[in-house]
Amino acid sequence: MKNTTKITILIILILVTILTPGFAEQKERQSNPVAVLKTTMGTIEIELFQHAAPETVANFIGLAEGTKSFIDPKSGSEVKRKYFDGLIFHRVIEDFMIQGGCPLGNGTGNPGYTFKDEINADSLGLNEMKALSPQGEPNQLLGIQGQEQFNSLILAPLFEEMGISTQEELDKRVDEFQARLNEISVKNVFENMGYEYRTGIQSYKPLKGYLAMANSGPNTNGSQFFINLIDTPWLIGKHTVFGKVIKGMNVVEAIGKVSTGTGDRPSKELKIITVTIRN
């Protein structure tokens, strides 16, 4: 009888632990791999969020370990080797971020392919953020500058969705149009820009110390990445965040303070000596 009671209590304790909010995520994160970047200014360790961006992390690890093929920009041939070893931090902006992963060292290189973003806009709350303030001003996250952008990104898609093509039709449905306009979310506008969002993953905001993919627009990820020196709320929903510095943030900050020249390129070469993955 006593043994049965002990077993029952044990089962209850296990269930309570498993059902505790955050337990599953914590367990999952404990199994995340760590990227160790040995640089000419010190070592940086980054936890890779494979639970949040599995394809992005797999791409990074494959390139780092030399198991993923890429196109050598110099020979034009498909090769397999440790991609990041020997590359530089080609772009450094104090109080913003440090960027690396370009095989050409000038920000224009890539591995010969691109892949899609891994961002869940809903988990970031973009579906609940209104595109317009009560005064009709665009949300700052949208980065809209001028009437032309406002028209193309907000008004034109709504006109098309509602089937309004003339001033007369708008006049007849102006109240409905205004109501729909007030309901447009930041997520809706980003989708009008071409961003495609996912479900079933937890996304992270690009905060200080977080690792994200650099890109030239929606779904243009390759090999370039950046590490934030500050929180960058204006980048939410536009870049896949796939890791966080867990050791060596002082090295990241030291890199962020180096002198730079044209194109934010460091005056002195800052090299990534090796990237190794620790599971």
Look at residue 23 in the predicted model and tell me its pLDDT.
Answer: 45
Whether residues 100 and 236 share a domain: the answer is yes
Look at residue 85 in the predicted model and tell me its pLDDT.
Answer: 98
Structure token digits, residue 129: 């953020």
State how many domains the chain has: 2
Q: Which residues of 128-161 are buried (b: 16+ CB within 10 A; e: fewer)?
A: ebebbeeeeebbebbebeeeeebeebbeebbbee
Whether residues 180 and 215 share a domain: the answer is no
Structure token digits, residue 58: 């797999």
Look at residue 74 in the predicted model and tell me its pLDDT.
Answer: 87
Measured from the Cβ of residue 176, the count of other Cβ atoms closer than 10 Å reads 12
Whether residues 168 and 215 share a domain: the answer is no
Query: pLDDT tens-digit profile of 24-59?
Result: 444 455 689 999 999 999 999 999 999 999 999 999
Whether residues 31 and 65 share a domain: the answer is yes
Tell me, yes or no, whether 19 lies in a domain: no
Please say whether the beta carbons of 162 and 170 come within 8 A.
Answer: no
Tell me, yes or no, whether 8 lies in a domain: no
- Judge residue 65's burial from the number of C-beta atoms within 10 Å of its C-beta, 0-12 exposed, 13-18 middle, 19 or more buried: middle
Whether residues 93 and 210 share a domain: the answer is yes
Whether residues 31 and 167 share a domain: the answer is no
Segments of the chain with pLDDT less than 50: 13-14, 16, 18, 21-27
Whether residues 113 and 221 share a domain: the answer is yes
Domain span including residue 65? 27-122+197-278
Rounded Cα–Cα distance for residues 36 and 43 (Å): 7
Tell me, yes or no, whether 16 lies in a domain: no
Tell me, yes or no, whether 40 lies in a domain: yes
Look at the block and give the residue holding tokens 């966080």: 244
Look at residue 22 in the predicted model and tell me its pLDDT.
Answer: 47
Tell me, yes or no, whether 59 lies in a domain: yes
Whether residues 76 and 201 share a domain: the answer is yes
Whether residues 165 and 35 share a domain: the answer is no
3-class DSSP state of 44: strand
User: In sequence order, which residues have a C-beta less than 8 Å from that of residue 150 and are 6 or more positions away?
Assistant: 138, 144
Whether residues 39 and 114 share a domain: the answer is yes
Structure token digits, residue 55: 């394809």
Whether residues 216 and 274 share a domain: the answer is yes
pTM, entire model: 0.87
Whether residues 151 and 263 share a domain: the answer is no
